Structure 1
């Protein structure tokens, strides 16, 4: 997550950063000053037969214009459980802007894949919990499970998303300066201080598969599809939720995921909570199909 963080999360990314307590002034300024996205309003029929979902048109593997993204599929399952037809209101900007530019402007009614408790919205009860992972090549035998593992100081490059809990821990173990030039090279040396910048999740996985990096530490839902599809056998292991900075402050590695609605829309929130219970088997099947590792919510 900048979870995002938690993650780009979906955060998403900005929501996760806030939840993890890792948001930076530079990122906050970027979010505030970014130009608003454009969308065509999609009115909801009076009979409530449609669930209008705010969605990024190009944020693989979470959201794709053809509706095949992980979060698109989960939204469709929830809509079906409500007896509604899902209607995506597409944004040409990253999902981090969906609340400000779409939900708050009433162009759509639901954002999928937010961290539970995101303060910008009302969030449903969590429908799954996942976390950051270590991605390594199976042939290397690196059975990493925690940022406290001393081998992380000796491996080749460690690829992490900008602004994430993983970036915070890379700094904490004294690896950031060593890997900084490498990480910036993955975005053509574009500075995340000046604009919203993230390394493509597929690129993070590809760096490990090619051997250019020994380890990647992204949010699992962002990369599970790419890990599963890799022609080079990869290992993906949930990071233990025991990370802490040198000053003792906990750095969260796992996050409950919820849907978000506008503040004041308690009726839709209640309907979604009921639908998510009904849709749980379908959602679990989707997560299994995508290869997303999960743990019990609230753990």
Structure 2
């Protein structure tokens, strides 16, 4: 769930750069979580009271304690209806365990530091595979950044190399994301910067966690205030699907490069993370992810999240 800015849920590279920009030790990344659960998952995903650090409970083999943000739609919600909430419930069921969400009122970007590392919970969902702060499972899906445009009259773009991106109206991107990097690379950032900051009431993301609401990004395109938005697909798929204005969501080709030729990744494998040393739990999760694959695929399809083969 670096997802994640929730996930972002910001991708790992963006989060690392973002964390370095903060003077407080605030930014250890995130769990991302998304959309509506099946009724069986809801039964297992009832909210639990958040314990204090002093009240950390011992591990119970019959329970899967999942760190989760209480209010980070569409990725994680306290009623258990987030995408990664649903996936965590499906994995717990495959393990023969009951899912217990340990809720944080902070953004998901703080989950590893403030919850997993303090042993208040044991699993973070929706991390980029290979997140260096944790042990990550084998990936359970791969998605990427998308171009969101109006289906009727928006540009049908698929790559950052499309020259039309230099000519359209506003392009809305999440702060600290690969999309922001590419907006700068094509020479569009200066003209869109004031617009982007207006979406967060001109709060600076340089010294505090500030991110544009994914629903706002989609709404800007639907209303015509932006011609294109380029968010991470799991962050916005629910809102694109629910839009009263028909929208087009197209995976960005993974061919983006900076002016110096360095690749800018646009697609990311997603995994669950556990504390270093929790090898037994990691192995159990990997086994359960295989068993839960049909349920996970159904959840992603229900959410409308576009996927590609993991590792591709």
Same fold? TM cut 0.5: yes
Does residue 1:237 correspond to 2:250, yes or no? yes
Give the match for residue 14 of structure 2.
17
Partner of 1:83: 96
Residue 201 of structure 1 deviates from its aligned partner by 0.1
Change (3 A) 1:275 1:25: closer
- Alignment of structure 1 residues 81-160 onto 2, 5 Å: 81-160=94-173
| Structure 2 match to 1:161 | 174
Identify which of 171, 183, 199 aligns with 1:186.
Answer: 199
With normalisation by structure 2, the TM-score equals 0.89
Partner of 1:286: 299
User: Using a 3 Å threshold, how does the CA distance of structure 1 residues 203 and 141 change in structure 2: closer, same or farther?
Assistant: closer
Is the CA contact 2:203–2:210 (under 8 Å) kept in the aligned structure 1?
A: yes
Q: CA RMSD in A?
A: 1.9
Assess, with a 3 A threshold, how the Cα gap between structure 1 residues 273 and 33 changes in structure 2: closer, same or farther: closer
Instruction: Give the total of aligned pairs.
Output: 289
Q: Cα 1:78–1:28, aligned 2, differ >3 Å: closer, same or farther? A: farther
CA contact (8 A) 1:8 1:14 kept: yes
CA–CA separation in structure 2 for the residues paired with 1:273 and 1:29: 36
TM-score computed with the length of structure 1 as normaliser: 0.92
Name the CA distance, whole Å, in 2 between partners of 1:28 and 1:273.
34
Q: Shift of the alpha carbon at 1:113?
A: 0.1
Q: Distance in 2 between matches of 1:207 and 1:25?
A: 27
Q: What CA deviation, in whole Å up to 9, does each residue of 1:56-105 have, x standing for no partner?
A: 00000000000000000000000000000000000000111100000000
**1:143 Cα deviation after fit:** 1.3
State the Cα distance separating 1:34 from its structure 2 match: 6.5
SS at match of 1:223: helix
CA displacement at 1:142 relative to structure 2: 1.6
* 1:49 paired residue among 40, 62, 67: 62
On the 8 A contact 1:12/1:115 being kept in 2, the answer is no
Deviation, structure 1 residue 11:
4.2
Structure 2 counterparts to residues 201-216 of structure 1, below 5 A: 201-216=214-229
Question: Which ranges in structure 2 are unaligned for 5 or more consecutive residues?
Answer: 29-48
Shift of the alpha carbon at 1:33? 3.8
Q: 2:237 aligns with which of 193, 218, 224?
A: 224
Report how far residue 10 of structure 1 moved. Answer: 1.6
What's the offset of the Cα at 1:28? 4.9
Ranges of 4+ aligned residues in structure 1 off by more than 6 Å: none
